[in-house]
Amino acid sequence: MTDMNSAPLKGLRIVDFSQFLAGPYATLRLADLGADVIKIERRGKGDLSRYLYVSDVLIDGESTIFHAINRGKRSLSLDLKSETDREKVWELIDGADVVVQNFRPGVIERLGFGPQAVMERNPRIVYGSISGYGSDNDWAALPGQDLLAQARSGVMWLTGAEQHGPVAIGLPVADVLAGAALAQGILALLVRRGMTGEGGVVETSLIEAITDLQFELLSTFLNDGRQTPTRPRNNPAHAYLAAPYGVYQTADGHVAIAMNNLQDLFQCVGLCASLEDLNPFEDRDIIARMLADQLVTKTTRAWLDKMDHAGLWAAPVMDWHELVNSGILQKLGMVGETRRGGESFSTLLSPLRVNGERPAAQGPAPYLCDEPISWSSPTD
């Protein structure tokens, strides 16, 4: 891992009001690059993710979510309605470079730490906000939750086969994408500040991030008379692409087949059917069914050996055991380990490499702490 003394963002100070996932994901990525992140948490309760579980696995009494997304940060628990505690926050903001928040629209302003108030106090601040659906629109007050954003965005309708109902992406993809987008925006404003001295405000939302995920297909829709695509009935993987693009069952698993010359693919798998009268787009489901009936007769490994030899694009559908046991994540250095309270916690590290090394925030997720804290304090 990267020597944090030479980390790109070493010396950068972030006051982080955000909780749970979207905002903390943004500050995690910045912490991995060397930023000092102080989480402002509710006195006595802390970040919601400390006790909101996706499983019953706890590390040192707190959820794996909290440990995964808050490693290397520091904590300060306060009552933001207390004038004394609010002054402690202002003291941190005076020495900070970045403020991040993901409250519902209007909440941070009522607490007194909205972008206008903060930038009047410290004009060099880069202020980052994430909401569910932005502000000043008909959706602004709706709950900003990942699954609900997926449902409203069209991505859930898009996923799956034609004859099935909507399929949710099995990850909090809107949260993570919004966090990544905010981190990108914060870095851009920091670059500008380095050149001009000017701070600024950057905002994104779950709906903007998950809409951007669909930019390729939505652009097609907007420029194609707004015709919605017909999702495949068989072996779906992409609403627009022609056969053989899809996921197919084999004798012992599944294989994903990308864009390939159909004649070459049919020859490889031993299909003798004529393709002269079949259109890869219009007859997508017929072609997919022919392939499906053939591919189920042999194992995944047998088909991949044949396809690899023929130069065709295909891959096994792997579960998490197979991914981790492949060793690729370990070889890339993406799996790390921290310790807190005598317990060890395996975690995924930053997806970036800087000068050939992977930067990572140092230390575990913080305990909820209401002791005085300052920028000169060493990172715990």
Closest CA to 52 of 78, 37, 70, 27: 70
pTM above 0.75?
A: yes
The catalytic residues are 175
Q: What CATH number should be reported for the domain whose range is 4-213+327-348? A: 3.40.50.10540
Q: Which pLDDT does position 240 carry in this prediction? A: 82
Q: Which pLDDT does position 354 carry in this prediction? A: 87
Residue 287 has pLDDT above 70, yes or no: yes
**What's the Cα-to-Cα distance from 47 to each of 25, 40, 79, 229, 253, rounded to whole Å?**
13, 9, 13, 41, 40
- What are the beta bridge partners of residue 42? 78
Q: Is 14 helix (H, G, I), strand (E, B) or coil?
A: strand
Omega before residue 123 within 30° of 0, cis: no
C-alpha to C-alpha distance for 310 and 260, rounded to whole angstroms: 11
Helix (H) or strand (E) holding 254: strand 254-257
Q: Is 46 left (phi over 0), alpha (psi -120 to 50) or beta?
A: left
- The vertex-248 CA angle with 228 and 330, nearest 5°, equals 105
C-alpha to C-alpha distance for 185 and 17, rounded to whole angstroms: 17
pLDDT tens per residue, range 212-245: 999 999 999 999 899 988 888 888 888 888 989 9
**What's the Cα-to-Cα distance from 258 to each of 17, 133, 155, 249, 251, rounded to whole Å?**
43, 34, 21, 14, 19
CB 129 within 8 A of CB 201: yes
Mean residue pLDDT across the chain? 93
Lowest mean pLDDT among 55-59, 77-81, 199-203, 246-250: 55-59
Name the pLDDT band for 65 (thresholds 50, 70, 90).
very high
pLDDT tens per residue, range 1-46: 556 778 999 999 999 999 999 999 999 999 999 999 999 999 999 9
C-alpha to C-alpha distance for 197 and 117, rounded to whole angstroms: 18
Hey, where are the domains in the chain? 4-213+327-348, 254-316
Q: Between β-strands 74-78 and 36-42, what pairing exists: parallel, antiparallel or unpaired?
A: parallel
**What's the Cα-to-Cα distance from 79 to each of 23, 40, 91, 266, rounded to whole Å?**
20, 10, 15, 67
**What's the Cα-to-Cα distance from 10 to each of 3, 5, 94, 96, rounded to whole Å?**
10, 7, 18, 13
pLDDT greater at residue 102 or residue 168: 102
Q: Which pLDDT does position 379 carry in this prediction? A: 47
Read off the tokens for 299: 């194992």
Q: Which pLDDT does position 206 carry in this prediction? A: 96
Q: What average pLDDT does this structure show over 135-150?
A: 92
Q: Which pLDDT does position 45 carry in this prediction? A: 92
Q: Which pLDDT does position 313 carry in this prediction? A: 95
C-alpha to C-alpha distance for 106 and 339, rounded to whole angstroms: 38
